[in-house]
Amino acid sequence: MAKDRSSAGDPSRTLALLWREPGGAPAGGRGPRPGLSVDAVVRAALELADAEGLDAVSMRRVAQQLGVTPMTLYTYVPGKAELLDLMLDTLFQRMPRPVDAGAPWRERVTAVAEANRALHLAHPWVAALPATRPPLGPGLIAKYDHELSAFDGLGLPDLDLDAALAHLLDFVRSTARTALEARAAERDSTMSDADWWEANAPILAKVFDPERFPLATRIGAAAGEAHQGAYSADHAYEFGLRRVLDGFAALIAERAAGE
């Protein structure tokens, strides 16, 4: 759906809601219901998204969750697009801030990666969202400022700092999405990777002809034995993160040398 991305709602209302400024909720209609709040609406929507996925989140379903009518809900949030930004920013505010300023830079950057991977794996719907227009709320701004501190003091220009963080977060998001897809495949098939490979061993033995495909057979067998399946999300993340860090180290050295 077009609205299942960040920053798809009315910018003024969304920003007012994110920063809890007056005028964030729609004007007119009945007044706020005692005991209900924007935060309560967001919590209910988050529970739905985590339990059933983002497709389950609608103004009607959230209203049912809260025991109110959909029209009552619109007193607090204009629609699903704005609600989605509120949900994301709330998660960003809840994230741990693990960066230790005194730790080596690789440890600092790794801590940022780990925190974001944990976010995606705990809330799978987040990894599936387009991320080019994140909600500019207090949660995102605090997250951005904190995560940039992992790269601070490395002698990198500001544009490199921004690009390095974006590259790291793109890597984490990509590997998290693949991990979630693997998890979904295992759940839907009711078979682990090891079980699947064992069940299909006879036909796979015919397909993987070592004379026709020597590299695929040798390397595929080695990877399969190591991972007990065709793919290991943890290995892919750990291997990739080391390569990302090595790339940052090369960039730092280049900038220090004036290149």
Alpha-carbon distance of 49 to 109, in angstroms, equals 29
Tokens, residue 78? 């204009």
> What pTM value is reported for the model?
0.84
Alpha-carbon distance of 136 to 109, in angstroms, equals 23
Same fold, 11-93 and 95-256: no
Give residue 28's pLDDT band: very low, low, confident or very high (50, 70, 90). very low
Rg of the chain on CA atoms, in Å: 23
Helices 158-189 and 233-256: angle between axes, nearest 10 degrees: 170
Alpha-carbon distance of 109 to 112, in angstroms, equals 5
Alpha-carbon distance of 96 to 111, in angstroms, equals 10
Three-class DSSP category at 225: helix
Does domain 11-93 correspond to CATH entry 1.10.10.60? yes
Percent of the chain with pLDDT over 90: 60
What is the 8-class DSSP label of residue 232? -
Task: Please tell me the least confidently modeled range out of 105-109, 125-129, 244-248.
Answer: 125-129
Query: Cβ distance 56 to 123 under 8 Å?
Result: no
23 pLDDT exceeds 60? Answer: no
Domain limits of the chain? 11-93, 95-256
Tokens, residue 223? 């990877």
Question: For the segment 202-230, what is each residue's pLDDT rounded down to a tens digit?
Answer: 776 677 778 888 888 787 778 777 767 66
Question: For the segment 41-95, what is each residue's pLDDT rounded down to a tens digit?
Answer: 999 999 999 999 999 999 999 999 999 999 999 999 999 999 999 999 999 999 9
Instruction: Classify domain 95-256 at the CATH superfamily level.
Output: Tetracycline Repressor, domain 2 (1.10.357.10)
Query: Cβ distance 14 to 90 under 8 Å?
Result: no
Query: Cβ–Cβ contacts within 10 Å for residue 98, how many?
Result: 16
Alpha-carbon distance of 87 to 8, in angstroms, equals 13
